[in-house]
């Protein structure tokens, strides 16, 4: 059985996007050598990536470009070569390599993906999808990369969640640039 990790960048006040979907705050931090190595190591771990349409459309603007290959060669290579699934009711086809568009129920599809053998599955961003899969009890690991910035407004990581989600802290890591990685698992 495959595990499912939700990987989300958040601010100190719990937002994963600023007003109007702004993510510039996540790119204004000093990316010291340790943090860059962490990002590259995460990319090397393999497995399938899943996105909602909005995150997919943001990711495709950067990762398949020559600029990404120049700035982040290890991550770009993995992002472009890993199998990707984008959940969307409106997107009909994907132009990014190794990407499949799924318009059926994400809960059913992810449940099938998890039942297969293979490497772990990771959701990048995709707040609506994370919320839906969290409520269905399908997420095994929640990884939050908390940036030392306060926005005061935006969308929270679990905006609109209906039932309380009880988690236990499993790992932390602090980087020299002030970023903190927090890893949680569902508390049974």
User: For residues 28 and 154, which has the higher predicted lDDT (pLDDT)?
Assistant: 154
| Distance in angstroms (rounded) separating the CA atoms of residues 94 and 55 | 13
SS3 for 123-188, per residue?
EECCHHHHHHHHHCCCCCEEEEEEECCCCCCCEECCCCCCCCCCEEEEEEEECCCCCEEEEEEECC
Options 3.40.190.10, 3.40.50.2300, 3.40.430.10, 3.30.70.1090; CATH for 10-186 is 3.40.430.10
State how beta strands 180-186 and 141-147 pair. Answer: antiparallel
Q: Quick check: 44 pLDDT over 80?
A: no
Write down the pLDDT at residue 6: 94
Q: Break the chain into its structural domains and give their ranges.
A: 10-186
pLDDT tens-place string over residues 93-151? 999 999 999 999 999 999 999 999 989 999 988 888 999 999 999 999 999 999 999 99
User: For residues 95 and 37, which has the higher predicted lDDT (pLDDT)?
Assistant: 95
Q: What average pLDDT does the chain have?
A: 90
Is the whole-model pTM more than 0.85?
yes
Average pLDDT over residues 163-185: 94
| Distance in angstroms (rounded) separating the CA atoms of residues 149 and 160 | 23
Q: What angle do CA 52, 5, 113 make, to 5 degrees?
A: 70
Three-state DSSP state, 99: strand
pLDDT tens-place string over residues 7-22? 999 999 999 888 888 8
Longest dimension (CA), the chain: 45
Three-state DSSP state, 77: helix
């Amino acid at each position: 059985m495959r595990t499912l990790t939700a990987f989300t960048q958040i601010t100190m006040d719990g937002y994963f996007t600023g007003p109007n979907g702004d993510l510039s705050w996540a790119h204004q931090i000093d990316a010291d050598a340790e943090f860059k190595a962490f990002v590259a190591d995460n990319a090397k771990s393999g497995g399938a990536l899943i996105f909602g349409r909005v995150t997919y459309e943001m990711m495709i603007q950067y990762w398949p470009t020559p600029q990404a290959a120049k700035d982040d060669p290890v991550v770009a290579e993995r992002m472009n070569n890993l199998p990707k699934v984008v959940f969307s009711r409106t997107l009909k086809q994907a132009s990014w390599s190794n990407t499949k568009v799924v318009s059926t129920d994400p809960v059913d599809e992810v449940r099938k993906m998890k039942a297969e053998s293979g490497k772990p599955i990771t959701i990048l961003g995709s707040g609506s999808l994370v919320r839906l899969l969290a409520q269905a009890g399908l997420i095994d690991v929640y990884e939050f990369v908390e940036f030392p910035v306060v926005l005061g407004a935006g969308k929270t990581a679990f905006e609109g969640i209906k039932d309380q989600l009880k988690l236990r802290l499993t790992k932390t890591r602090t980087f020299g640039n002030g970023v903190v990685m927090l890893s949680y698992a569902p508390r049974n």
